[in-house]
């Protein structure tokens, strides 16, 4: 097996002049965004600003009507199938509800990409699955359970375990802490930071959670008016003079999250 040609690029994700639309409804227009290698970027924005759509445009599920999206230096929408496949093996995606295959147990879910792409079966596949399940913070018993038997938080962890199956360099998280209790959410933040540090992951995270932004994100990108209106370290973004940003960070919850960080 040969290594796919891996371009050495500083920006893991590079979005230029992106325009996405549903019929006549334009979600993004002239949107630019860079995600550097090895950082955790948090994408925030009000409801309906297209955070999830942006994520879907980057991972190839929503074809942009204009502009380019480069991941690992490859323009996903213009490359051939082989390049696409190799790009897809280098990223992992956690959808909002976990999106686990309901007919498979958690361990089988994690083994599915290992079996398909690495052609690893048997004991080694089980060992890898057990490792990822443990790394995602699930107990070993969870491996034999079906997704319907898990709570929302456990389902997200199982989703992370599957996203990590192929040792991706880049991981997409769609609202990872939504619907988790504060303790679970804090553990999840810690898990993400841990994984990023030990595996050198780049993380693209769509979130609403101010605490997650403080606890986990290196940079924050704010979506509004169909584009990224501010992007940078949290402290810089907070200084931006835009009504939505001011309201978001200076509102009661924003201040509380900041106070919690200061302690």
Partner 1 sequence: MTDSVAKFDIDVDGGVLKLIAKGDWRARFLRSIDSKLRDFADDSVGRDLVIDMSAVERLDTTGAMMLQRTFYACDSRTGASKIVGAREVHAALMTQIQNHLAPCHVTPFHPNPFLAVLDRLGGGVANTYRVSIDLLEFIGFTLSTAFRVIIRPKRFRWTSTFHHMEEAGLDAVPIIGLMSFLIGAVVAFMGAKILQLFNADIFTVELVGISVLREFGVLLTAILIAGRSGSAFTAQIGSMKIREEIDALRVLGLEPMEVLVLPRVIALVLMLPVLAFISAMLGMLGGLLVAWGAMDISPALFIARTQETILLNHFWAGLIKAPFFAFVIAVIGCFQGMRVEGSAESLGRRTTLSVVQALFLVIVIDAFFAMFFLEIDF
- Interface contacts to partner 1, rule CB under 8 A: 1, 3, 102, 105, 107-108, 111, 114, 118-120, 123-124, 126-135, 140-146, 148, 164, 166-167, 194, 197-200
Identify the bridge partners of residue 220 per DSSP, sorted by sequence position.
42, 232
Our CB check for partner 1 shows the closer of 61 and 144 to be 144
Q: Give min distance, CB of 8 to partner 1, in A.
A: 14
Q: Give min distance, CB of 187 to partner 1, in A.
A: 15
Q: Give min distance, CB of 3 to partner 1, in A.
A: 7
Which ranges constitute the DSSP H helices of the chain?
51-58, 81-88, 106-118, 122-135, 152-163, 182-199, 210-216, 234-239, 243-250, 252-262
Nearest of 93, 60, 99 to residue 76 by alpha carbon:
60
Cα 143 from Cα 130, distance rounded (Å): 7
Our CB check for partner 1 shows the closer of 20 and 109 to be 109
Our CB check for partner 1 shows the closer of 187 and 246 to be 187
Q: Give min distance, CB of 191 to partner 1, in A.
A: 12
Residue 8, C-beta contacts closer than 8 angstroms, at least 6 positions apart: none
Our CB check for partner 1 shows the closer of 55 and 107 to be 107
Strand order in the sheet with 91-94: 91-94, 170-174, 202-206, 40-45, 219-224, 227-232
Q: Give min distance, CB of 82 to partner 1, in A.
A: 16
Our CB check for partner 1 shows the closer of 31 and 111 to be 111
> Using CA of residue 114, residue 115, residue 119, residue 124, what is the dihedral sign?
positive
């Amino acid at each position: 097996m040969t290594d796919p040609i891996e371009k050495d690029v500083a920006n893991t994700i590079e979005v230029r002049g992106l325009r996405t639309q549903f019929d006549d409804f334009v979600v993004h227009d002239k949107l630019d965004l860079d995600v550097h290698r090895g950082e955790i970027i948090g994408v925030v924005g009000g409801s309906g600003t297209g955070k999830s759509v942006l994520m879907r445009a980057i991972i190839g599920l929503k074809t942009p009507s204009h502009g380019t999206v480069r991941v690992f230096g490859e323009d996903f929408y213009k490359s051939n199938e082989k390049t696409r496949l190799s790009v897809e093996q280098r990223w992992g995606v956690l959808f909002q509800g976990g999106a686990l295959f309901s007919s498979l147990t958690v361990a089988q879910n994690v083994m599915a990409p290992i079996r398909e792409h690495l052609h690893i079966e048997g004991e080694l596949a089980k060992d890898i699955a057990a490792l990822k399940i443990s790394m995602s913070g699930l107990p070993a018993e969870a491996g034999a359970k079906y997704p319907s038997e898990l709570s929302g938080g456990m389902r997200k962890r199982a989703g992370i375990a599957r996203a990590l199956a192929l040792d991706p360099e880049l991981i997409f998280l769609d609202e990872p802490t939504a619907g988790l209790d504060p303790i679970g959410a804090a553990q999840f933040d810690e898990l993400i930071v841990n994984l990023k540090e030990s595996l050198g992951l780049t993380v693209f995270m769509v979130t609403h959670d101010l605490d997650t932004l403080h606890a986990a994100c290196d940079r924050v990108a704010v979506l509004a008016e169909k584009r990224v209106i501010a992007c940078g370290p949290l402290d810089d973004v907070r200084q931006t003079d835009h009504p939505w940003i001011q309201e978001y960070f200076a509102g009661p919850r924003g201040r509380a999250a900041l106070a919690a960080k200061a302690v």
